[in-house]
Chains A and B, each alone.
Chain A
Amino acid sequence: MIVAVKAGLNTSVKLEIIKRIFDGKLVSPLIDDLKPHEIMLVHQFILEKALEFGKAVKGNELTQQDIAQYLNPPDINRYENVQIDTTNKNLSLAIEKTKKQIDSLCQIIREYALN
């Protein structure tokens, strides 16, 4: 099935992510086939939710440090559209790092959100 990728993440994708998070499943396997800018959209969405839920639970007690450690996504944008093998290798590393961050952010969300 081939679907248009809009400026933001598809809503059905957001639902899948939320469901995986609340079901305790990893989100990272889902992003294996995504392009770098799509992975960034997923990362951005999960980060937003982590901040939102953190605020909802901790309110004003939420500190920058609670989330800051996850606020530096690798700059994988600059690897887009470059067709050199060595850079492809760097791209893979960048994606792996982002996946790990995504999983960590999901864990943070679970800590805040789950009963």
Chain B
Amino acid sequence: MPGPNNKNKYVVLVIDSPGPEVNQLVKNLAETNLEVVHIEDGQKACEFCEANRPHVIITELDLPVISGVQLFRFLKNNFITSQIPIIVTTKEPKLEDRIKSMEMGIDDYIEKPYFPEEVVVRVHSLLNETRNTEKSRWIINHGFKGDLEEMNVLDLIKTMELSRTSGIIYLTRGYMEGQIFVNNGSIIDAFIDGFEPEQALTHMLTWLKGTFWVSIQQIERTRMINENNSKILSKGTRLIQQWKDLARLLPPLNTSLKAITPAKDEQISHPEKQMLDRYYEPKTIMQGIEESKMDNLHALELVRSLLQKGLLIKGAAPHQVKDPFAQIVFDHAQKKESGESTYNQITSYFKRDQDPGGLPQPVAERNNQAGDPHNNPSPHVQKIPYRVFLSKQELKRVREFFSKK
């Protein structure tokens, strides 16, 4: 696993005033095959991080020139450094500082005086975790990412073609993920789980919403796509135009639709039935298309056909359905003597106070596509996935602990 200095070592940055404790820590870290850089002030540390992007940062809260808090803000707001794990060391941390650190994304917290061996253990623990997400780290180091609405797949291909770059374009749209492999500016392969390479590429050419990561790197892969770029780009342009023409004949793609059960003698094709099944729960046109995993254009044509047959009708938008239980809860909260309703308190979470430094927005706000005037969560808020960091064995031991009297 190469670090920025290509010496195959992870780089650890220690930010603290010199002293016997820090010196011992630097020594202990270096003995475990890490490249250790020791910087005393926060300002220089920021410059180092931007230029060299260490793998882990260990920092004191109380720094000269700029404070630890200012340092964190800089790192977390900076695209290049936002993913670097940070360990904070300080004397007698107040719980408020600890919680604030947690809010700002600090990965670990160690009180001084510490055992340098303990810090070394924590560093390696974080590096182990980092190895599992090495792909995204590599992309951030050597590439760029963005929104397909600003720069679509055709633009990305043209960019790589012009600069004769090699790399991988990672694409995400709704539930789907795909990759396009480019060698010296020429597309050689494409991948979406369950699709042939050329089908996968055709699919991805019409992804006009979603995100991309472009990772610049050498590609060693067998060529699976034989068409040259200009044919691919020309096909892509035609497909996008077909999509837009078809979409113009339909209601807006964020219109909610609902399926009607067809009559017994009504003849519908198997693909139409598959598409219809998507809409028995009301959802937007685009949601149904994404969930179907069919080719976009084909899916859109099916929706059009079903609308014409009257088997799809406009349903209530998911976020407009009244929930009587919630109304009861809300009314009760309104009557409370404490003043502001608890409901408003909870939903005002979405409006986290803006610091002058501009902390990153919570995930919920970034993903809030529909938005509504009552600050209700958008039905399209992306859920934070669940990941268990302890193994089954470890959890069983925890379970045993709670079973003891």
Q: A12-B325, A16-B325 are in contact. Are A2 and B320 (CB under 8 A)?
A: yes
- Assess whether A2 is in contact with B322, with CB atoms less than 8 Å apart: yes
- Assess whether A5 is in contact with B327, with CB atoms less than 8 Å apart: no
Binary per-residue interface labels of chain B (24-46) against chain A in the complex, 1 for a CB within 8 Å, 0 otherwise: 00000000000000000000000
Q: Cβ of A114 < 8 Å from any Cβ of B?
A: no
Contacts of B278-318 to chain A: CB distance below 8 A? 281-282, 313, 316, 318
CB distance from B278 to the nearest CB of A (A): 11
Contacts of A62-115 to chain B: CB distance below 8 A? 77-78, 80-81
Q: Which of A5, A12, A30 contacts B321 (CB 8 A)?
A: A5
**In the bound complex, CA of A53 to CA of B316 (Å):** 35
| B376 to chain A: closest residue by CB | A2
Cβ contacts under 8 Å, B318 to chain A: 4-5
Q: Which of A1, A7, A77, A80 contacts B323 (CB 8 A)?
A: A1
- Assess whether B260 is in contact with A4, with CB atoms less than 8 Å apart: no
- Assess whether A1 is in contact with B326, with CB atoms less than 8 Å apart: yes
User: Which residue, B260, B318, B322, B325, has most C-beta atoms of chain A within 10 A?
Assistant: B325
Contacts of A1-33 to chain B: CB distance below 8 A? 1-5, 7, 10, 12-13, 16, 30-33
User: Which residue, A1, A31, A32, has most C-beta atoms of chain B within 10 A?
Assistant: A1
Cβ contacts under 8 Å, B327 to chain A: 1
Q: A5-B318, A81-B313 are in contact. Are A10 and B260 (CB under 8 A)?
A: no
Cβ contacts under 8 Å, B326 to chain A: 1-3, 12
- Assess whether A78 is in contact with B261, with CB atoms less than 8 Å apart: yes
CB distance from A9 to the nearest CB of B (A): 10
CB distance from A19 to the nearest CB of B (A): 11
**In the bound complex, CA of A38 to CA of B321 (Å):** 10
Cβ contacts under 8 Å, A7 to chain B: 281
CB distance from A38 to the nearest CB of B (A): 8
- Chain B contact residues, CB within 8 Å of chain A: 258, 260-261, 281-282, 313, 316, 318-327, 329-330, 343, 372, 374, 376-377, 379
Query: 5 other contacts beyond A1-B327, A2-B376, with CB at 8 A cut-off?
Result: A4-B318, A12-B329, A13-B323, A30-B325, A81-B260
